[in-house]
Structure 1
Amino acid sequence: MKIERLTFCIGAEVSGVNIGDAARDASLFAEVKALLLKHRVLFFRDQRISREEHVAFASRFGKLEDHPVAGSDPDHPGLVQIYRSEEKNPYENNYHTDGLWRAAPSMGAVLRCIECPEVGGDTIWVNMVEAYRQLPDDIKKRIEGLRAKSSIEHSFGAAMGLEERRKLAAQNPEVEHPVVRTHPETGEKVLYVGSFTTHFVNYHTVDNVRYGLDKTPGASLLLNYLQSQASIPEYQVRFRWKPNSVAVWDNRSTQHYAVMDYWPAPRKMERAGIEGDRPY
Structure 2
Amino acid sequence: MSLTITPIGSALGAEIEGIDLSLPLHAEHYAAIEQALLQHQVLFFRNQPLTPEQHLRFAAGFGKLHIHPLYPNVPQHPELLLLDTDVVDLRDNASWHTDVTFLEAPALGAILSAKQVPPFGGDTLWASGIAAYEALSAPLAKMLDGLTASHDFTRSFPLERFGSTPDDLARYEQTRRDHPPLSHPVIRTHPISRRKALFVNDGFTTRINELQPAESAALLTLLFNHISRPEFTVRWRWAANDLAFWDNRVTQHYAVDDYRPQRRVMHRATILGDKPF
Q: Secondary structure at the match of 1:24?
A: coil
Query: CA shift at 1:71, angstroms?
Result: 3.3
Relative to the length of structure 2, the TM-score reads 0.92
Contact 2:207 2:213 in 1 (8 A): no
> 1:106: which partner in 2?
107
**Matches of 1:94 and 1:258 in 2, distance apart?**
7
Is 2:207 the counterpart of 1:222? Answer: no
Contact 1:112 1:247 in 2 (8 A): yes
Alignment of 1:15-30 (within 5 A): 15-21=17-23, 23-30=24-31
Query: CA shift at 1:85, angstroms?
Result: 2.8
Q: Which has the larger radius of gyration?
A: 1
Is 2:11 the counterpart of 1:9? Answer: yes
**Matches of 2:45 and 2:4 in 1, distance apart?**
11
Contact 1:85 1:264 in 2 (8 A): no
**Matches of 1:172 and 1:251 in 2, distance apart?**
19
> 1:188: which partner in 2?
195
**Matches of 1:160 and 1:27 in 2, distance apart?**
42
Q: Cα deviation per residue 1:74-121 (whole Å; 9 max; x = unaligned)? A: 422310111113676421100010011111111001100000001000
One-letter amino acid matched to 2:17: S
Query: CA shift at 1:24, angstroms?
Result: 2.6
Q: Secondary structure at the match of 2:275?
A: coil
Q: Secondary structure at the match of 1:266?
A: coil
Query: CA shift at 1:157, angstroms?
Result: 2.3
> 1:70: which partner in 2?
71
Q: Which stretch shifts more, 112-121 or 70-79? A: 70-79
One-letter amino acid matched to 1:2: T
Contact 1:48 1:244 in 2 (8 A): yes
One-letter amino acid matched to 1:57: F
Q: 2:235 aligns with which of 235, 238, 251?
A: 238
> 2:207: which partner in 1?
199
Query: CA shift at 1:7, angstroms?
Result: 1.1
**Matches of 1:252 and 1:87 in 2, distance apart?**
26
Give 5+ residue unaligned stretches, structure 1: 204-214
Q: Which stretch shifts more, 239-248 or 82-91? A: 82-91
Query: CA shift at 1:20, angstroms?
Result: 2.5
Q: Cα deviation per residue 1:138-189 (whole Å; 9 max; x = unaligned)? A: 2112212100100001221242449655443222111110000110010010
Alignment of 1:82-97 (within 5 A): 82-85=83-86, 89-97=90-98
> 1:209: which partner in 2?
none
Q: Cα deviation per residue 1:27-48 (whole Å; 9 max; x = unaligned)? A: 1121111111110000000112
> 1:126: which partner in 2?
127
**Matches of 1:269 and 1:99 in 2, distance apart?**
17
**Matches of 2:155 and 2:37 in 1, distance apart?**
31
Q: Which stretch shifts more, 57-66 or 169-178? A: 169-178
Is 2:273 the counterpart of 1:271? Answer: no
> 1:253: which partner in 2?
250
Flag the 1:53–1:258 CA change in 2: closer, same or farther, 3 A. Answer: same
> 1:207: which partner in 2?
none
> 1:179: which partner in 2?
186
Q: Cα deviation per residue 1:60-81 (whole Å; 9 max; x = unaligned)? A: 1100001011032242231011
Give 5+ residue unaligned stretches, structure 2: none
Relative to the length of structure 1, the TM-score reads 0.91
Q: Secondary structure at the match of 1:156?
A: coil
Contact 1:157 1:168 in 2 (8 A): no
**Matches of 2:215 and 2:179 in 1, distance apart?**
28
**Matches of 1:86 and 1:80 in 2, distance apart?**
12
Report sequence identity in percent.
38
